[in-house]
Structure 1
C-alpha cells in the first residue's frame, strides 16, 4: 500500500497571482498577508491611501513574494478594468480575485440619505461586479480561477450584501464548467477600524453582539486567513457557490 499523500501542499499558492480589492487595511490586509504567506504574488487594489504602496512593499519583504499596489476607484468600471489589465501585464497571470472592498453606512430607511444609498450599492455591488468581470477574462482564457467575494452574515437581510451573496451563486453556476470557482466568505462581527468607529458611536452594541454570538466575542481579522487560503487553493477544487460563515457561531442559533 502506498503512503498517503500529505494535504498541506494543496493549500500552497506558490507562483499563483492574487488580486485583493481593499487589500491595504482591515480584513483585506489580513487576506493579502495570508495569500502572500501561502506563496502567492499579490496585487492590492486601493482607492484612497497612497500608503498602500508601502504596505505592499512590506508584504513583499516579509513573505518573499512580489506584492504591488494599484490605485483605482472601484466604482469606475473603466478604472477597474485598466488596473486589472495592468496587473495582468505586470504579473503575467490572474489566478485569484478577492472582491473585498466594501462600506457600511447605516440609517433609518424613511430618512436615509439617497447619496449614501447610491454609494453603498456602487461600492458593495457594482464595484464587486466590475472587478470580477475584468478579472474573469483572464481566468476564462486559462480555464481556471478562484473568485472570492467578501459578503457578510447580513447577506440574508441586508440589501447590498444580499446582492453579493446571490451574485456568488449566480456566477458559480455560470462558470462551474469553465474552471472558475466562485465563493463567498461571510464574516460575523470582526474587529476592524470600521467596527471601532461604529462602536465608538454605539458602545452598547458590542455587548449585544457578544450575547448573540455563541463564542461570546467579536472576531479578529486574522481569523479569516484560513478561509481565504482554503477557497483560493486547490484544497477546495470541488467547492463553488458556497457561503463560508466565519462568525463565532452567530448564524447557527
Structure 2
C-alpha cells in the first residue's frame, strides 16, 4: 500500500522491547497467572515454577481438599501472592466470575493456563454417553471457557498470554488404553489454540498449547503394571515424566522469552509422537 505522497507504507508491526538477558526475559515479577486444575500434579508444579519466577498465582481447583494449603505453600516458598479458588470450569458463568474475581484480588491478569482435565476410561463405542459428555465438558468446553473469559480481559488491555494443556493424545491414538473422547478433545484443544492465535494476534495476544506425554501423577496412578510397561516400550526414553519436567516449557510460554511464539504446540512426551 502506498501513502498519498507516493512513499510506501509498511504493514509491519513494531518489535517489542527485548531484554538482552535471557534470565530477565524469563522473569514474571508482579504478573498475575491463573492456573486451572492448579491443585493437581501438573498444575501445581506449573504454579511453583511460575511463582519461582515472580508470578502471583490464582490457583483454581474443583474437588481438591488441600488447595488452600497448596496456595499457602507457594506463598511461603516463593514470597508471592497465591490464592485458591473453587471453580467449575464446565460452567461459563462461574469461569467468567472467577476471572473477574482474580482481577479484583490481584489487580490485573496477564496469563491464563487452561490446564484442568480428566481422563476417559473407555473406547468410543463402550464409553457411556454421560462419561463422554463429562470428559468433553471439562477437557474441551472448560478449556474454551477459560481462555475465552481471560481473552476478553486480554483484548481490552491489548496484551495477555494463554497456554492450553493439550496432550500427545491429540496427535496419536496411544495404546493400549482406548480413550477416543479424550483423544478427540485434546486434538480440539490443539487446533483451538492455533485458531485463537490468529484471532488474538490482531490485538497483541498470544496463545499456545503444550502436549504432555505420560506423566507420573495421581491420574495415572491406578493404571495396571502391564499397561505402564507398554507405555514405556512405546516411548523412546522408556519412562514417564516427573511433572517438574514440564515447568520449563510453561515458564517459557508465559514469559517474554516467547514473545514471537504463538499458535504452536509443544510435545513433551519422551519421543512418543516422534516414532
Q: Same fold (TM over 0.5)?
A: yes
Give distance in 2, aligned partners of 1:67 and 1:117: 33
Encode CA deviations 1:152-190: one digit per residue, 9 max, x unaligned: 001124111011111011101111121111100000100
Give distance in 2, aligned partners of 1:134 and 1:99: 11
Match of 1:191 in 2: 216
Structure 1 gaps of 5+ residues are none
Which one is further off, 223-232 or 138-147? 138-147
1:115 paired to 2:130 = yes
Give distance in 2, aligned partners of 1:152 and 1:113: 22
Q: How does 1:77-226 map to 2 (within 5 A)?
A: 77-157=92-172, 158-197=183-222, 199=223, 202-226=224-248
Match of 1:59 in 2: 74
Match of 1:38 in 2: 53
What RMSD over aligned residues (CA atoms) do the two structures have, in Å?
1.2
Figure out how many residues of one structure are paired with residues of the other and give that number: 247
1:203 CA displacement: 1.6
Larger radius of gyration: 2
1:106 CA displacement: 2.1
* Contact map agreement 2:43 2:115 (CA 8 A) in 1: yes
Structure 2 gaps of 5+ residues are 1-18, 173-182
Q: Secondary structure at the match of 1:110?
A: coil
Q: How does 1:6-45 map to 2 (within 5 A)?
A: 6-45=21-60
Q: Secondary structure at the match of 2:145?
A: helix
